[in-house]
Structure 1
């Protein structure tokens, strides 16, 4: 069985958050509304979208079903440019764009760039 590095797992967590956020925004749902739909809360949805900490696969599965997102696609790591375009698309769907959200999206893109850079270095050293 293939062993996944911490960097690769971090990228997958970021990707899951980005895809869930984009799907939620496309459906016009708030984090609170989505949380209620899966018998949870906005804090959980926000943590998943920001890739903070660990989340059970069950909650991710419930979110994917509620948002009509293919569960398995969430875990297949996409290329850096694809993930960055998902972030850009989610940014376009934001209807209450505050300075804090602008900063979040900018820092998310930087986080993706830096994490992919670590991932590439890791892959090249193996």
Structure 2
């Protein structure tokens, strides 16, 4: 069985958060709205979208179903350009774009680029 590097695992976590965020923004939902739809809260949604900590597959599954995303595709690591394109598209969907959010997106792109450089 293939062993995955820490960088690959972190990139998959980032990708899951980015794809879920983009789908949520496309549907015009807030984190609070989405949290209510899956009987959870906005804090959990934010943590998943920011790839903070580890989240059980069942919550990710519920979110993917609620947002109409193929659960399996969340775990197939995209190439760097595709993942950065997802981040940039999410940025375009943000309706309340604060300086803090702009900084977050900039740092996220930098983080993605760094992690791809660390791949074996």
Written as runs of structure 1 = structure 2, the 5 A alignment for 1:27-46 is 27-46=27-46
Structure 1 match to 2:50: 50
Counterpart Cα distance in 1 of 2:13 and 2:91: 19
Structure 2 match to 1:90: 90
Report the CA distance between 1:4 and its aligned residue: 1.2
Counterpart Cα distance in 2 of 1:106 and 1:87: 9
What's the Cα RMSD here? Answer: 0.5
Provide Cα deviations, 1:104-126, integer angstroms capped at 9, x if missing partner: 1000000000111111xxx2xxx
Provide Cα deviations, 1:30-81, integer angstroms capped at 9, x if missing partner: 0000011111100000000000000000000000000000000000000000
SS in 1 for 2:118: helix
- Structure 1: 5+ residue runs without aligned partners? none
Report the CA distance between 1:6 and its aligned residue: 1.1
Structure 2 match to 1:70: 70
Report the CA distance between 1:16 and its aligned residue: 0.2
- Structure 2: 5+ residue runs without aligned partners? none
Aligned residues: 120
Structure 2 match to 1:10: 10
With a CA cutoff of 8 Å and minimum separation of 6, indicate the structure with the bigger relative contact order.
Answer: 2
Larger Rg: 1
